[in-house]
Structure 1
Amino acid sequence: MPFAVYMLGLAVFAQATSEFMLSGLVPDIAADLGVSIPQAGFLTSAFAIGMVVGGPLLAMLTLRWPRRTALVAFLVAFAAAHVVGAVTDDYGVLLATRIVGALANAGFWAVAAGAAVSMVEPDKKARAMSVVMGGVTLACVAGVPGGAMLGQLWGWRSAFWAVAVLSVAGVAAVLASIPAGRPDAPSAGLRAELRSLVGAQLLTAYAMNALVQGATFCTFTYLAPLLTEVSGYGAGWVPAMLVLFGVGAFVGITVGGRIADARPYLILLTGMSALTLGWAVLALSAGAAVAVFVLVFVQGLLAFGIAPVLTSRTFYLADGAPTLAGGFTTAAFNVGNTAGPWFGGLAIDAGLGFRSPVWTSALMMLVALATLGLAVALRRREARSEPPVAAAV
């Protein structure tokens, strides 16, 4: 695996830490800026919305830029947004920095994904994506708890300063490892890439990505009240259980990236079926502390174990549009991150209890499995209508 791909993963670690760290900083931000808890919580939602919009938009705007130029520009903008966020006393300004940071993050993701898959052999796309996405899982394991610790020791602003420093380190890493020009042929242009993105199989790939991520973050977002109100864990256990989920995610994405390219549909069917069953078992056994401990690790492993397949499929299916494929994949991922917690919150607000987000995750996975069935049917139909050498990968 090229060294540059690991450096992209390092930059993603800094950005993912920022995306998720507010979960432990919301009360301090609300108290410091004199706003309500829901207002402070909206900073997370604003980031997710910016990611959904920013992926495709900034991928299109920077389509003809050299990749290193685009990656550095996005990282510099991301770092600058966090510097401004760290020094402001105005909620509106902080909200604006979260939107700007999300747009920069989305643009970076779109370009980085295309860059990573272009630097490896054609049959190693999923493995490359697992390395880049590994930055997200490392953020869950180390970045988010680290941000919370900084917030407790020196205030929430110190976590923003830390992300800015990490982003500057990411700039140095990109400059040192990514070639000045594009590592592949120049883009054929916006219209050509958009034509490559038209297809029912691509739509099913995006839908599966959104559904699986939505199911994952539906439960992950409300894991704390599930642990304390249903499973009997004390509040002190919550950070440890979040880290346990992150460890499972890191193991899953590492292993999944190594095997995903060979049999993608078999891995999707096996992994998604196990993930669906796991959410149902977690909902049923949420009152048993030992079972929950095991399942938190297992579900993190399964959810991120199939992530390399879900993300790399778009690059196989849209080989002529690597940049825009990365942008729309980023958008699909964050549609799930936004919709899943929203659905889980609706279930709780309906009086269904803290197990209800886990049941919601299982339901979303059933829809994802149905979408996989549609994708397999479309693949078989295309294989029958084309010469064998032209069949879909």
Structure 2
Amino acid sequence: MIAMNFVKTMKPGLLTLTLGGMVVGMTEFMMMGVLPDVASDLAISIPSAGHLISIYALGVVIGAPLMTALTSHYRPRIILLSLMGMFALFNILFALAPNYGLLLAARLFAGLPHGAFFGMGAVVASRLAEPGREARAVSMMFAGLTIANIAGVPLGTWISHTIGWRYSFLVIALIALVAAASIRKWMPNLSPSTQPGGFGKSIKVFGQLDIWIIIGISSIGTGGLFAWISYIAPLMTAVAGFSSGSISMIMIVAGVGMAVGNFVGGRLADRFSPLKTTGALLLTMVGALLIVSVVSYYKAPAIVMTFLTGAIAFAVIAPMQMLMIRAAKGAEMLASSALQASANMGNALGAWLGGLPIAAGYGYTSPEYVGAGLALTGVIFCLALARQQKMPAPLPAGKKVIHSPLKETAGEIGR
């Protein structure tokens, strides 16, 4: 039934977004699977190699508002085509870079188109969807991320172990070129989606406190995922005792969990409020990461928790997306891009903070405690947002409260 619904929703234009989402997912998550190979090839430590994860996230943070501002007046097909071209170019440069400094630079630039692609892609998906199916259409784009983790990242990890990690990123570049060709062929030539007033008016949405709390939830709360998955390869080999050749299959298990979580999270957000769902899932993530730190010494429970933790982590995506969209009426594209940027701040924060206790000698289970703390901070932000939303909205500037017995009486009747 799920597969039938997926096929029914997949118009050719949406399929191009799914393929593009897969490229973005592979670019972002491939480093997690090949991290030991990169560290060994460059003769650097695992935490130093982890900086290649963090620097990509920094590129997303920089690129989300920058690329949105530069491209907002162009037609969506041109924007998406150009962004896929950037992914192809900078993955090629990363694969060919001869030293650590140039690798860092290539990863930084590879992150620039990430947020803008999902920001524009979300707007395009909703415009291509049949009435009443907009949210499902948007979820199809994010399904590309789960496909990347089920198929793309394990394939790249296998290539890394058998041929070399640089070839893994050349494969990403090839898929990006295929995605660009599909966008050129199948994406309808929609009109620009610039809001009245343009980028200058849209950016005013960041004057709302709600937006910043949601950014806090995303940038800190999602750090729990990246503190875990950034170091999943050494965790499963050095602690659980799996061979390095098993990492591809382990990444598939994580990817399947993410796919299930992406599906379930959207349904939970529809049934309950996005805020309650986000808070509950982040709290569940705290418990999951603490369990991972305990059971990762044993192969079977380590695999089970890989699936469950991946599912919980990706179940948060749809509820957080709905939180931002509802809070940013009239500036959805910019807000969606900002959400991607904030999530990648969580990527950078989780990868960096997770590497600190490893560097200090506390072992490969120590990042899970860091991740649990980050997820718990996200829960606290959810509570703050719930409190903020219960407060009465401020009056527009220049408006005064006029106390009138007649108006007060009318107000009581209206309530």
Greater CA deviation, 216-225 or 149-158? 149-158
Relative to structure 1, the CA distance from residue 70 to residue 316 in structure 2 (aligned partners, 3 Å threshold; closer, same or farther) is: same
Aligned residue among 282, 285, 289 for 2:295:
285
CA distance in 2, matches of 1:30, 1:271: 33
TM-fit CA distance, 1:178: 2.7
Instruction: Answer yes or no: is the 8 Å Cα contact 1:126–1:260 preserved in 2.
Output: no
Deviation digits for residues 305-328 of structure 1 (CA, Å, limit 9, x no counterpart) = 121111232122112112211221
Residues 1:383 and 1:361: Cα distance change in structure 2 (over 3 Å): same
RMSD: 3.0
Q: Name the counterpart of 1:155.
A: 164
Equivalent residue number for residue 190 of structure 1:
199
Q: Which stretch shifts more, 175-184 or 240-249?
A: 175-184
Paired with 2:370 and 2:100, the residues of 1 have a C-alpha distance of 33
| Alignment match, 1:165 | 174
User: Retained in 2: the 8 A contact 1:215–1:340?
Assistant: yes
CA distance in 1, matches of 2:103, 2:341: 23
Q: Tell me which of 291, 306, 309 is aligned to 2:319.
A: 309
Query: 1:365 is matched with which residue?
Result: 375
The 3 A distance-change label for structure 1 pair 27 and 180 is: same
Instruction: Report deviation, 1:74.
Output: 1.2
Selected match of 1:98 from 88, 107, 110: 107
The letter of the residue matching 2:379 is L
Between Structure 1 and Structure 2, how many residues are aligned? 386
Q: How far, CA to CA, are the matches of 2:49 and 2:275 in structure 1? A: 41
User: Counterparts of 1:111 and 1:81 in 2: how far apart (Å)?
Assistant: 20
Question: What is residue 255 of structure 2 aligned with on the other side?
Answer: 246
Alpha-carbon separation, structure 1, partners of 2:291 and 2:40: 39
Q: Quick one: distance in 2 between partners of 1:234 and 1:29?
A: 17
- Could you tell me how far 1:60 is from its partner in structure 2? 1.4
SS in 1 for 2:222: helix
1:377 is aligned to 2:395: no
**Among residues 195, 199, 203, which one is paired with 2:212 in the alignment?**
203
Secondary structure of 1:243 counterpart: helix
Mapped to 1, the partners of 2:141 and 2:89 lie a distance apart of 22
Q: Identify which of 58, 62, 87 aligns with 1:49.
A: 58
Alignment of 1:99-138 (within 5 A): 99-120=108-129, 126-138=135-147
**CA distance in structure 2 between the aligned counterparts of 1:27 and 1:268, rounded to whole angstroms:** 33
Change in Cα spacing, 1:89 to 1:348, as seen in structure 2 (3 Å) is closer
Task: Provide the C-alpha distance between the structure 2 equivalents of 1:340 and 1:18, rounded to a whole number of angstroms.
Answer: 17
Alignment of 1:295 with 2:301, yes or no, is no
Question: What TM-score, normalized to structure 1?
Answer: 0.86
Whichever residue aligns with residue 307 of structure 1, its letter is I
**Contact persistence 1:129–1:257 (CA under 8 A):** no
* Matched residue SS, 1:260: helix
Q: 2:349 aligns with which of 339, 352, 355?
A: 339
Q: Give 5+ residue unaligned stretches, structure 2.
A: 1-8, 397-410
Q: 4+ residue runs of structure 1 moved beyond 6 angstroms?
A: 383-387
CA distance in 2, matches of 1:276, 1:87: 39
For residues 304 and 159 of structure 1, what CA distance do their matches in structure 2 show? 24
- TM-score in terms of structure 2 length: 0.82
Inter-CA distance 380–295: structure 2 relative to 1 (3 Å threshold)? same
Could you tell me how far apart the structure 2 residues matched to 1:16 and 1:42 are?
18
CA distance in 2, matches of 1:129, 1:64: 22
